[in-house]
Amino acid sequence: MAAHDNNLSYVPTWCAGCGNFGILNAWKKAMNSLDLDLEQTVLVAGIGCSSKISQYVNTFRIETLHGRSLPVATGVKLANHNLTVIAEGGDGDGMGLGMGHFVHTARRNLDIAYFIHNNQIYGLTKGQASPASDLGMITKFTPPPLGNMERPINIVKMALSVGATFVARAFVANISQLSDLMAEAIRHPGFAVIDILQPCVSFNHVNTYQWYQQRVMPIEKMHGYDPDDLNKALSLAGLWGEQIPVGLFYREVRPTFNGSLPQLTQEPLAKQKINNIDISKIMKSFC
């Protein structure tokens, strides 16, 4: 695990205009508003342009394998349930390689905030269709006339369907809304997912800033909005086209996996001895 570094000053290597810059700004704003102890906060990222965010923030951080941010974040949370744990990655990382982990983290309701940088493309590997790419999208690897032949995964619908207890969507150009939702997601006691619409200016020339600006709509203004009603949230989640709802879709308080384990309610696992084995020594061997 990379250590918290007060002098962290890496310069982001994202392309000029990349939506990841907005996410980083919102991230810092959210952290400031929460006044979190950064020594007690861990960001676990996967692989991809999005996951580089872990190199530009001032918490403890792990950049793990492609699609594996959630199982690693689960391990961190279970080892020390007092930590604030955030997982992050792209739509390809989370909905492709990491899909199985996403489903199981949601149904367990682990107390983890998960921010998905959804640019609807694999950016780092130069523009292949991702699991969130629109049907018919032309890329170097999904050429005309058919383009992308696979139906996209609607991340909000997926999160609602598998049991996430806080589900939201935000557009990165609205940094204030995004940072507020991030702060709420971190505060939420359970698995909190934000689908962040994040243009990739280099490889996705369809879902651009302008394309989203013309479509995003505050969900609170939509008919039938009720964040306490799962069926209504699912119904609004189905909207994707002329109108794309953004905001909080659903919130529910339900016991968390980490909070329900009897052996974890007393003391963090990292401080316990099990069968006379000092867990802290094992943990240190990974540092």
Position 49 contacts ligand SF4 (CB under 6 A) = yes
Closer residue to ligand SF4 (CB): 128 or 280: 128
Do 64 and 45 form a contact (C-beta atoms < 8 A)?
A: yes
Position 119 contacts ligand SF4 (CB under 6 A) = yes
Position 116 contacts ligand SF4 (CB under 6 A) = no
Shortest separation between residue 286's beta carbon and ligand SF4, angstroms = 30
Closer residue to ligand SF4 (CB): 128 or 235: 128
Shortest separation between residue 47's beta carbon and ligand SF4, angstroms = 12
Other CB atoms within 10 Å distance of the CB of residue 136: 13
Shortest separation between residue 15's beta carbon and ligand SF4, angstroms = 3
Closer residue to ligand SF4 (CB): 20 or 139: 20
Stretch that binds ligand SF4, among 3-11, 31-39, 116-124, 155-163 (CB under 6 A): 116-124
Spatial distance between the Cα atoms of 213 and 22, rounded to a whole number of angstroms: 15
Spatial distance between the Cα atoms of 166 and 186, rounded to a whole number of angstroms: 10
Answer for which of 89, 123, 131, 190 binds ligand SF4 (CB under 6 A) is 123
Do 45 and 85 form a contact (C-beta atoms < 8 A)?
A: no
Position 208 contacts ligand SF4 (CB under 6 A) = no
Closer residue to ligand SF4 (CB): 36 or 201: 201
Backbone angles phi, psi at 99, to 5 degrees: -60, -45
Shortest separation between residue 14's beta carbon and ligand SF4, angstroms = 4
First to last CA, the chain: 6
Upstream peptide bond of 145 is cis (omega within 30 degrees of 0): yes
Provide the 8-state DSSP code for 4.
P
Closer residue to ligand SF4 (CB): 30 or 49: 49
Find the DSSP H helices in the chain. 20-34, 69-79, 91-92, 99-108, 155-162, 175-187, 209-213, 230-237, 257-260, 279-285
Do 169 and 131 form a contact (C-beta atoms < 8 A)?
A: no
Do 163 and 89 form a contact (C-beta atoms < 8 A)?
A: no
Closer residue to ligand SF4 (CB): 46 or 227: 46
Position 94 contacts ligand SF4 (CB under 6 A) = no
CA dihedral 40, 117, 106, 60 (to 10 degrees): -20
Give the interface size with ligand SF4 as a residue count (CB under 6 A): 12
Closer residue to ligand SF4 (CB): 79 or 124: 124
Residues numbered 12 to 31 that lie near ligand SF4 (CB under 6 A) are 14-15, 18, 20
Answer for which of 125, 128, 202, 235 binds ligand SF4 (CB under 6 A) is 202
Which positions touch ligand SF4 (CB under 6 A)? 14-15, 18, 20, 49, 119, 123-124, 200-203
